[in-house]
Amino acid sequence: MSRWIFLLILALTFVAGPSSADEAADLEQVVTSGSAKEQYTLGVRYIRGKGVDKDLAIAEKLLRAAAGQDHILAMTNLGIVIQHRTTARKEFVEATKWFRAAAEKGMAGGQYHLGQSYQHDKGVPRNYASAAEWYGKAAAQELPKAINALALLYRNGLGVEMDFAKAQELYRQAAKKGYSKAQYNLAIMTLKTAVTQSEYLTAAKLLQAAAVRNHRAAQYQLAKMYEQGEGVPWDHSRAWMWMKISADNGFKRAKAGLPVLVDKMGADELKLGEELLRDYKVKQKKKKSRKSSLDYGMKALTAPA
């Protein structure tokens, strides 16, 4: 990274965007004369608010400059920024243009988002077959969210022949990569056909894996399994913990279910649930990686022979 761009980023660490003429001039120099990598890196800082105050307008300007230099990550992120700032059809068309540019250069993220555009009628007419094609290209590069999206199409027979076995296998692939949506989706598919204790236990473990990654619906579903003793030991305290976490995350069914659950609980059960919640929050703060997993009774569970 050149000395002047390093100094610019260092200066911006302490200000809310370019607040002086000199800083604005330095920023403009990055836009007009910087390398694509410099433009992209600084653009992402403005998207994330990393070292600078978040500013999507400045981010878009920088990403547009980098995308103009064929930076494929910038193309993809530019499309995302454009989509998120508007509901206008013409803007979706431009976003899709950038997704396609990145996709055609082999960028998995661009391929996934182009698939999303086709699936959801954003910038191009809805075409499930095209969505499946682009998801497939991204899935071949092992992008978890693309694998999950392709699984959904197979599960519902959208653009491809309905194939539950294929959907389940794809969900399993993405779930093994730690993708919480796939873990949840695979758990729900498993629960719908579960007969044995082993199958219910498998679903519960998948739900826990998604729950510790803050998937609200998984947190709620895991709470219901503990509440009902389905696949896991009946445990109102753990049910309350997961229901409370899901409710605090804004999941409506959990908000409605929490007082109903509390009415079934004794004072000791509620006290234990609160202790479990405090312990969970402490351990979550200490987690060093999203791939880490926590144990809340699951390791002790074994399926009957």
pLDDT at 24: 62
- pLDDT for position 19: 55
pTM, rounded to two decimals: 0.83
CA angle centred on 108, ends 103 and 114, rounded to 5°: 50
**Res 255: pLDDT:** 98
Quote the CA–CA distance of 159 and 148 in Å, as a whole number. 15
The pLDDT value recorded for residue 28 is 74
Which pLDDT does position 3 carry in this prediction? 43
DSSP designation for 16: S
Instruction: pLDDT tens for the chain, 305 residues: list them.
Output: 454 444 354 444 434 445 555 566 667 777 777 789 989 998 998 889 888 888 999 999 999 999 999 999 999 999 999 998 877 888 999 999 999 999 999 999 999 999 999 999 999 999 999 999 999 999 999 999 999 999 999 999 999 999 999 999 999 999 999 999 999 999 999 999 999 999 999 999 999 999 999 999 999 999 999 999 988 999 999 999 999 999 999 999 999 999 999 999 999 999 999 999 999 999 988 875 444 444 444 443 433 32
Between CA 155 and CA 74 the distance in angstroms is 32
User: What are the structural domains of the chain?
Assistant: 3-143 (1.25.40.10), 207-286 (no CATH)
| Residues across the chain | 305
CA distance 295 to 260: 26
For residue 21, the model assigns a pLDDT of 59
> CA–CA separation, 109 vs 117, rounded Å?
12
Cβ of 190: how many Cβ atoms within 10 Å?
22
Residue 25 is predicted with a pLDDT of 64
* Alpha carbons 27 and 8: distance in angstroms, whole number: 8
Those residues with Cβ within 8 angstroms of residue 299's Cβ, 6 or more apart along the chain or in another chain: none
CB 147 within 8 A of CB 116: no
Q: Nearest 5°: CA angle at 218, between 214 and 219?
A: 65
pLDDT recorded at residue 31: 76
